[in-house]
Amino acid sequence: MLGAIEAGGTKFVCAVSENGRDIKERVSIPTTTPAETMQQVYDFFRSFSIEAVGIGSFGPIDINTKNDTYGYITTTPKTAWQNFNILGDVQKHLGVPAGFTTDVNAAALGEWKHGAGAGKTSCLYMTVGTGIGVGAVINNHILEGLNHPEAGHIIVRRHPEDDFKGTCPYHSDCLEGLASGPAVEKRWGEKGSELTARPEVWELESYYLAQAMMNYILILTPERIIIGGGVSKQPSLLAKVHEKTQQLLQGYVQDSMITQHIDQYITTPGLYDDAGITGGFVLAARTLEDTPN
């Protein structure tokens, strides 16, 4: 049996699977302090005989195995979790091989294996919600290098009529600062879910998201792009993103997936809210394979 932990800033979801895909049992635990939350995580897994676990964690996290702080949650604004060695803690308490990556990389892995990216060699997963997170699978592997992607913080060109200063504490008006859920709420005075009937909101939102699509396509050239998260549930948004991405690219990338089938190319999740936990199982299975007997 395989275990998965989706370590989120609001809640931890833990689950087990017999076949590495279907969820046999799951639990949701509030994210309070490491001591309190992790105890409940371990209590859940105690009922099962798991062989490995895959962790997709909120960040920033250190995924560089060469660093002393590998496996840590690092500079999060959640002070109780700063510099918490989540990977080490899980390994110690569960005593099984553990894979470790970001929440969005886990979601990308889940969508790539069993969701909207199935059958592709690469896919990019973007979530637009409280923040803007991006994970990716390239050549069938999670994209990690110097660090994990932080592609929610890229520079985009401001709309000439948008004078909102942005919400990102680091970069003010990076993509996340201009287009995340809190940015939408602060700019328009209401939550995105209350703004469905105002087309100007989604015109502007798609203006920024389409720039992200263009840059992701030109830099990473993924075979599929999946957009999830709360903001992405706006009914008119995705079609506007499709249209504006094509306009920006100006036919430069001549692949029919972009010129003709962009509605299939940039798409919604196949696994919805289960992308991360499913990716956790995939990661657990890979970690088990890579562990010497």
One-character DSSP codes across 211-222: HHHHHHHHHH--
Structure tokens at 66: 């060469």
Measured CA to CA, the distance from residue 48 to residue 207 in angstroms comes to 47
Phi, psi of 91 (to 5 degrees): -60, -40
Applying CB under 8 A, which part among 86-94, 236-244, 257-265, 284-292 lies near a second copy? 257-265
Please select the residue that binds a second copy; options are 26, 93, 158, 186, rule is CB under 8 A: 158
| Contact between 159 and a second copy per CB under 8 A | no
Please select the residue that binds a second copy; options are 15, 154, 227, 231, rule is CB under 8 A: 154
Question: Scanning the structure block, which residue is given the tokens 């992405």?
Answer: 232
- Amino acid identity, residue 287? T
CB closer to a second copy, 19 vs 69: 69
CB closer to a second copy, 96 vs 212: 212
Give me the helix-helix angle, 199-220 and 237-249, nearest 10°: 50
The secondary structure element, H or E, covering residue 122 is none
Question: Scanning the structure block, which residue is given the tokens 């996290």?
Answer: 61
Cβ atoms of 39 and 27 within 8 Å: the answer is no
The secondary structure element, H or E, covering residue 128 is strand 123-128
CB of 45 to a second copy, least distance (A): 30
| Contact between 108 and a second copy per CB under 8 A | no
| Contact between 217 and a second copy per CB under 8 A | yes
Please select the residue that binds a second copy; options are 95, 145, 235, 292, rule is CB under 8 A: 145
Please select the residue that binds a second copy; options are 77, 79, 119, 146, rule is CB under 8 A: 146
| Contact between 254 and a second copy per CB under 8 A | yes
| Contact between 138 and a second copy per CB under 8 A | yes
Structure tokens at 202: 């989604």
Please select the residue that binds a second copy; options are 113, 114, 148, 242, rule is CB under 8 A: 148
Measured CA to CA, the distance from residue 136 to residue 104 in angstroms comes to 8
Applying CB under 8 A, which part among 48-56, 144-152, 231-239, 282-290 lies near a second copy? 144-152
| Contact between 216 and a second copy per CB under 8 A | yes
Measured CA to CA, the distance from residue 123 to residue 282 in angstroms comes to 15
CB closer to a second copy, 106 vs 156: 156
160-199 residues in contact with a second copy (CB under 8 A) are 170-171
Binding mask 6-35 for a second copy (x = CB under 8 A): ------------------------------
One-character DSSP codes across 133-182: EEEEEETTEE--SSS---GGG---PPPTT------BTTTBSSHHHHHSHH
In terms of Cβ atoms closer than 10 Å to its own Cβ (0-12, 13-18, 19+), residue 290 is exposed
CB of 38 to a second copy, least distance (A): 24
Please select the residue that binds a second copy; options are 144, 162, 185, 203, rule is CB under 8 A: 144
Q: Which residues bind a second copy (CB under 8 A)?
A: 60, 64, 74-75, 121-122, 134, 138-139, 141, 143-158, 170-171, 211, 214-223, 248, 250-255, 257-258, 265
